[in-house]
Amino acid sequence: MESQLFTTILSFLGKKHVCNSCLGRQFGNLLTGLSNADRGSALKIFLTMEWEIQHRQAKAGLTEISSLISKDFTVGELSVQRYFPDIESNILPCQICQDFLSIPFLESLAKEARDLASEYEFSTFLVGSIFPPNVIDNEDIIRSSFNLEYGESIKSDFNRELGKILSKLLPEATVEFKAPDLVFTFNLIHNEIDIKSNPLFILGRYKKLERGIPQSKWFCRKCRGVGCNHCNFTGKMYQESVEEYTTTPFFEAAKGISSKFHGSGREDIDARMLGTGRPFVIEISEPKIRNLNFSQIAKQISENSKAKVEVTIDGLTNRTKVREIKTRSSRNAKAYRAVISLDKSLPDDLSFLETVANELTDILIQQRTPLRVAHRRADKIRIRKVSSFKVEEVTKNEITVYIICEGGLYVKELISGDQGRTQPSFSEKLGIPALVRELDVIEVFKSTDPI
Ligand SMILES: [Zn+2]
Ligand SMILES: [Zn+2]
């Protein structure tokens, strides 16, 4: 069997001076369980033996061996010295990687990265790199001119080997490809190490125990957050919000650079959010701390808001959950209690109330975008289901009802009819103009089906 590998390597090494890793990498897809440096070293050992045989037979001289000698191949240097003791050692840098793959260089980068990461709390990481384009191009050219078809890329070689060294320096952390806490990017063009801390996602539920608090921080309409007479130089329409009460303690504890609040739908400013609360995800960008004391933060939220906002924290989650709670689960069923003011007193015989309630049970409601939000939302028809409508309390001018409906139903308009834009409505069925005076969200169910 004529050795195809042998011929290829000989012609390649006759022209290029490379380190063990760069030689081994050209055959990186052959055999498994070996580092490229070990592959390269094995090939060089074999070739050096071959050279020694030929040298003893006086068929090969110093020129034939010189390209085998590299900083990481002492066998070559020692073997040459055996026959040429007076030769001065002059080892060139690798012509492919420019010694970016040499172990001492990788070790120095790994140490620097470890020191830079010391201010972060993390348990997983990933290594990435930016190579000078000429290094990549050069390797491509060499591969095509020497028909080297079993190679892997220099970047994945570098990232993996550096990752191995870094893992030893960071025994508490492991390499993770999908969602690492930290990403190290080694920029070999500018000789810089960049650390990116991936966001932290915290899943929880909030209760809003007092009316008049918006869910999101609401910038002043006039100055858009800058501060003006209209907003008393606060930049805000409302001085408090669920978003600010809940995100601030997380943001401070995690030492992030910014935060976002993602709620699963929202209640009106004047509605309370009771029961077990409304799901939310808080996203903290570039966190330095990841092990947060949830019960302490929950306590802090309650204290800062004077018990107007309370949270239950389920734990850490991921970006997929954000999409899920913002889209799919915002249609999850909700239970409401509404205190309704009537424009006229009720008659003495209240038996017709039961008929009205029955007519609004298990029914689809058509709602044009309510007048009160029409300035910021497109005029559309929304269809949502009411699965239960029960009268709980009745006085002369007020009725308290308990409603279970699909998420996204405009409850105030279900009661008032919104000048005919919502059909059918409680007002219409009752024959008396009616308005919601107080509204509470009693429960946010886990699915679109309230049971
Ligand atoms: Zn190299
Ligand atoms: Zn303002």
Residue 90 counted as domain residue: no
Q: Domain holding 258: CATH number?
A: 3.30.70.2510
Q: Domain holding 423: CATH number?
A: 3.30.70.3190
Residue 266 counted as domain residue: yes
Stretch (H or E) spanning 364? strand 363-368
CA of 238 to the centre of ligand 2 (A): 11
Please report the pLDDT score of residue 422 as a whole number.
Answer: 97
Q: Are residues 207 and 325 in the same domain?
A: yes
Cβ contact 203:279 at 8 Å: yes
Residue 449 counted as domain residue: no
| CA-closest candidate to residue 152, choices 48, 37, 66, 74 | 37
CA of 61 to the centre of ligand 1 (A): 25
Q: Which ligand is nearest to the CA of 220?
A: 2
Residue 164 counted as domain residue: yes
Q: Indicate the number of domains in the chain.
A: 4
Cβ contact 72:42 at 8 Å: no
Q: Are residues 28 and 128 in the same domain?
A: no
- Look at residues 169, 197, 225 and tell me which one is the last residue of a structural domain: 197
Q: Are residues 326 and 336 in the same domain?
A: no
268 is known as an active-site residue:
yes
CA of 232 to the centre of ligand 2 (A): 7
Note residues around ion ligand 2 (Cβ under 5 angstroms): 220, 222-223, 228, 230-231
Q: Are residues 149 and 260 in the same domain?
A: no
Stretch (H or E) spanning 248? helix 242-254
Q: Are residues 44 and 139 in the same domain?
A: no
CA of 300 to the centre of ligand 2 (A): 29
- Look at residues 312, 330, 348 and tell me which one is the last residue of a structural domain: 330
Please report the pLDDT score of residue 424 as a whole number.
Answer: 97
Q: Are residues 206 and 322 in the same domain?
A: yes
Low-confidence ranges of the chain (pLDDT < 70): 1-2, 89, 450-451
Residue 8 counted as domain residue: yes
Q: Are residues 320 and 226 in the same domain?
A: yes
Q: Which ligand is nearest to the CA of 219?
A: 2
Active-site residue, selected from the candidate residues 157, 268, 418, 440 = 268
Q: Are residues 16 and 72 in the same domain?
A: yes
Q: Which ligand is nearest to the CA of 226?
A: 2
Q: Which ligand is nearest to the CA of 23?
A: 1
Q: Which ligand is nearest to the CA of 222?
A: 2
CA of 239 to the centre of ligand 2 (A): 12
Q: Hey, what amino acid is at 252?
A: E
CA distance 146 to 12: 6
CA of 260 to the centre of ligand 2 (A): 22
Q: Are residues 248 and 275 in the same domain?
A: yes
State which residues form the domain around 161. 103-197
Cβ contact 411:418 at 8 Å: no
CA of 23 to the centre of ligand 1 (A): 7
Note residues around ion ligand 1 (Cβ under 5 angstroms): 19, 22, 94, 96-97, 101
CA of 379 to the centre of ligand 2 (A): 28
Strand 381-394 and strand 258-263: the pairing is unpaired
CA distance 445 to 277: 10
Please report the pLDDT score of residue 2 as a whole number.
Answer: 63
Residue 163 has φ and ψ, to the nearest 5°, of -60, -40
Q: Are residues 265 and 152 in the same domain?
A: no
Residue 361 counted as domain residue: yes
Residue 344 counted as domain residue: yes
Cβ contact 236:220 at 8 Å: yes
CA of 376 to the centre of ligand 2 (A): 19
- Look at residues 283, 315, 330 and tell me which one is the last residue of a structural domain: 330
Q: What is the pTM of this model?
A: 0.83
Residue 91 counted as domain residue: no
Q: Hey, what amino acid is at 288?
A: K
Q: Are residues 164 and 145 in the same domain?
A: yes
Q: Which ligand is nearest to the CA of 234?
A: 2
CA of 273 to the centre of ligand 2 (A): 28
Segment 421-426 long-range contacts (CB within 8 Å, at least 24 positions apart):
421/367, 421/368, 421/369, 421/370, 421/371, 422/365, 422/366, 422/367, 422/368, 422/370, 423/365, 423/366, 423/367, 424/359, 424/360, 424/363, 424/365, 425/365, 426/340, 426/356, 426/360, 426/401
Q: Are residues 78 and 108 in the same domain?
A: no
Mapping DSSP to helix (H, G, I), strand (E, B) and coil, where does residue 283 land? strand
